[in-house]
Structure 1
Amino acid sequence: MSVAIRQLATAAPDFEAEFQRVLHWSAQTDRAIEERVASILDDVKARGDAALLEYTQRFDGLAASSVAALEITQDELRSALDAITPAQRSALDGAARRVRSFHQRQLDACGRSWSYRDEDGTLLGQKVTPLDRVGIYVPGGKAAYPSSVLMSALPAKVAGVGEIVMVVPTPNGERNALVLAAAAIAGVDRVFTIGGAQAIAALAHGTATIPAVDKITGPGNAYVASAKRRVFGQVGIDMIAGPSEILVLADGSTPADWVAMDLFSQAEHDELAQSILLCPDAGYIARVKAEIDRLLPGMPRRDVIRASLEGRGALIHTRSMEEACAISNRIAPEHLEVSARDPQRFEPLLRHAGAIFLGAFTSESLGDYCAGPNHVLPTSGTARFSSPLGVYDFQKRSSLIEVSEAGAQVLGPIAAELAYGEGLQAHAQAAEFRLKKGDAR
């Protein structure tokens, strides 16, 4: 059966209207979810562990005598690591090595303190320090995500975070060995088998058992996203993630079945995920569409893929690759593949994307698991002003200022003049008191 995915052309007179329909997605969560989340957050803040135990039993079917019983010990993490297959261990080690190496380079490039002295001896600079404690949320409802453990925990470790507290739902008490093994490899300090809005509340406010953190990272469902939005300000958060997205810019040189499967790779996440192809070759678009129809019946998650492609997907015929790049910048996708013979030719034209995958052999899935850069990326057009999760998300910066006596004579009159202009006499006189006699107003 053919997939009823939208097919648009930039040369068509109604393109702009149809294009806006493709892009439209309401980030507003259901009001009932917002109200429920607010109730859960307030309850966990007020009753702590007792509320956590009730919600964990209600939502995950996991009964426990105490929240301490929901903590997975370091011995259990190491046992999980020992229990996985050699192939799984090798894959986790290889992915962790690349992710750690990439974020170490990030630290070396932009994550160090610096200072300088100007000609009068005044010291100016920036002090970079890691956060004391962070919480990482790892989804665990519909699927298990060991890759998310690596992507959140390793940059935090590289940044020098003092303690990493991980929360992961385990419906009916089913623990995923790969997730726990990933936590062991990444050096997670504490792991609790709780999830949902109640886990976000516990991390933000702390309970008798779970320590409050300084920042919460990691993706989750609508309840988790709503809870992160509500606790922001009490703690830091990485971002509010929307449905997953992929945009493929193709010149027609990549095998059509490769591109069809790349579109599937995001569509299979959920029905609201978005997969778009931009290409100046109408014949190639037709071949990709034929591959979509051919390959879909063999996909285990074909119903989800179909719903995603028909609901939010699009195959767009452009006038040129340059026009495709311009449209891509308007979309600002989470994942952007440049599937072309000479991807470096087009990369300078691309300004807004969470991650850019260059060349036919660079499938988005490699970035999800093991290429090295972080797979926690801005969605819903927020790549226009947001960045992937990185070392910088687990650090903070303090300005350093040490003014010499000579420097005070130069800066004092400037500060005083501006302070008087703002009507702030104490500010002005605080600067003037440090001037040599006769220099003050």
Structure 2
Amino acid sequence: MSALLDRAPEASVEVVRAVDAIVADVRARGDAALIELTCRFDRRQVAAASELEVPRAARQQAWDALDGALRDALEQAATRIRAYAEHQKLGGFEFTDALGNRLGQQVTALERVGLYVPGGKAAYPSSVLMNAIPARVAGVDEIVMVVPAPGGELNPVVLAAAHLAGVDRVFTVGGAQAVAALAYGTQTIPAVDKIVGPGNAYVAAAKRAVFGTVGIDSIAGPSEIVVISDGASDPRWMAMDLFSQAEHGEDSEAILISTDADFLDRVATAMNERVRGLPRAATIEASMRARGALIRVRSLDEACAVSNRIAPEHLELAVDSPRALLPKIRHAGAIFIGRHTPEAFGDYCAGPNHVLPTSRAARFSNPLGVYEFQKRSSLIECTPDGARPLARIAGCIADAEGLQAHAQSARDRA
């Protein structure tokens, strides 16, 4: 189990060095570095930074050209994501303490956020919706999206999703240079307050490098799924649920935990049958060999204990009484309750965000949500009478810490 959960470092020394050089170059030279790096890494001919921005009309055109069924599906997904996000908004509060002082909290939205979206032949409109809609619900003033266009190729579905989600500006840049541009700003791309969205090892390393100058959502690792089953589910369903994450990449993690050994055997047989003909069969097979597991346990309580040790990004509870297990689950990014709730619903349209903690970060981290785009300020308002007791308390503690200016500043109010 320890070997299975032992992840390799997210970024090699070579990746970190390359990223540090790129970030420093963009910070120092702005647009000039951005153009040079985009031409080199994305095999493009860009003469001016203004060519990197996608006009609003082009996004509208991409939306209008969408197949009707896909447009309807995206609209319904966006509606569900927005409805869920509305429930997440933080509120401020105020109260009067026993001394007559007013204390509270003020909640404000971030001013500008950057959204990184994988590009080229990849089409991840769901990532656009999942990142941009909560930011918009939070009240963010401006959303800036960056998406690479290798060889000048840009997926129109991604542009259409940006239109639907209300993204304000879109730039066709990617990699570490795009993250650096968002963090520090260039003559063309404005600096943002926070960067969200998935990317490759270079993007992850760049996000880590600029953290502190800007906020980030997380350093995302490979996709993960754990399924807890009592053996009564359709083995074919279980096989495909595991594949739904294994197809993301050869380092994805897909684990089934069950009390029924015969059921595990049936799932293994179903996996061998259902993988045939899938476009990503080779990736799935490599992922399952390297990081897949079928684990037999003695009880569902033990299954929950094993799952908590894994702290998975996605957890399915495919059992008769799934809610009875919820109090026993301490660590999971998203929990899919019951046999009819596959993880794939969460990726696209259930409503909760699909940006989730990976690599055991569910022990201390949260799904992306509206709260990631809001910040809190403490409110403190003292009356003359209410200040006197606080002056005595603060002065005494400040003296003990050897900070006499603190102490005198407090006692002045007494």
TM class by smaller structure: over 0.9
Native 8 Å contact 2:257 2:296 kept in 1 = yes
Cα offsets for 1:323-344 (capped at 9, x unmatched): 0001101110000011112111
The 5 A counterparts of 1:158-177 are 158-177=137-156
Native 8 Å contact 2:122 2:155 kept in 1 = no
Matched, 1:27 2:9: yes
What secondary structure sits across from 1:233 in the alignment? coil
Aligned to 2:356: 377
46, 54, 64: which one aligns with 1:82: 64
The 5 A counterparts of 1:316-331 are 316-331=295-310
116, 120, 131: which one aligns with 1:152: 131
CA shift, 1:142, in A, is: 5.6
Aligned to 2:38: 56
113, 118, 127: which one aligns with 2:106: 127
Matched, 1:92 2:70: no
Aligned to 1:143: 122
CA shift, 1:270, in A, is: 0.5
The 5 A counterparts of 1:257-296 are 257-296=236-275
What secondary structure sits across from 1:128 in the alignment? strand
272, 277, 288: which one aligns with 1:298: 277
What secondary structure sits across from 1:411 in the alignment? helix
Aligned to 2:83: 101
Aligned to 1:349: 328
Aligned to 2:184: 205
Q: After alignment, is 292-301 or 222-231 more displaced?
A: 292-301
Native 8 Å contact 1:135 1:217 kept in 2 = yes
Specify the code of the residue in structure 1 equivalent to 2:176. Answer: A
Native 8 Å contact 2:146 2:178 kept in 1 = yes
What secondary structure sits across from 2:353 in the alignment? coil
Aligned to 1:252: 231
Native 8 Å contact 1:27 1:242 kept in 2 = no
Q: After alignment, is 191-200 or 339-348 more displaced?
A: 339-348
Specify the code of the residue in structure 2 equivalent to 1:214. Answer: D
Q: After alignment, is 250-259 or 46-55 more displaced?
A: 46-55
What secondary structure sits across from 2:170 in the alignment? strand
Native 8 Å contact 1:285 1:315 kept in 2 = yes
Distance 2:388 2:26 in 1: 54
Native 8 Å contact 2:120 2:155 kept in 1 = no
Distance 1:409 1:314 in 2: 64
Cα offsets for 1:229-286 (capped at 9, x unmatched): 0000111000000000000001111100001001000000010000000000000000
Aligned to 1:14: none
Native 8 Å contact 1:256 1:288 kept in 2 = yes
231, 236, 246: which one aligns with 2:215: 236
Specify the code of the residue in structure 2 equivalent to 1:181. Answer: A
393, 396, 418: which one aligns with 2:375: 396
Consecutive unaligned residues of structure 1, counting only runs of 5 or more, are 1-18, 436-441
What secondary structure sits across from 2:113 in the alignment? strand
Specify the code of the residue in structure 1 equivalent to 2:310. Answer: I
Specify the code of the residue in structure 2 equivalent to 1:394. Answer: F
Cα offsets for 1:87-108 (capped at 9, x unmatched): 111011000000011010111x
Consecutive unaligned residues of structure 2, counting only runs of 5 or more, are none
What secondary structure sits across from 2:276 in the alignment? helix
What secondary structure sits across from 2:325 in the alignment? helix
Specify the code of the residue in structure 2 equivalent to 1:156. Answer: A
Matched, 1:366 2:345: yes
Distance 1:21 1:416 in 2: 54
Identity of aligned residues (%): 58
Aligned to 1:43: 25
What secondary structure sits across from 2:7 in the alignment? coil
Aligned to 2:164: 185
CA shift, 1:27, in A, is: 2.7
Cα offsets for 1:284-319 (capped at 9, x unmatched): 000000001111122111110011000011000011
- How large is the Cα RMSD of the aligned pairs? 0.9
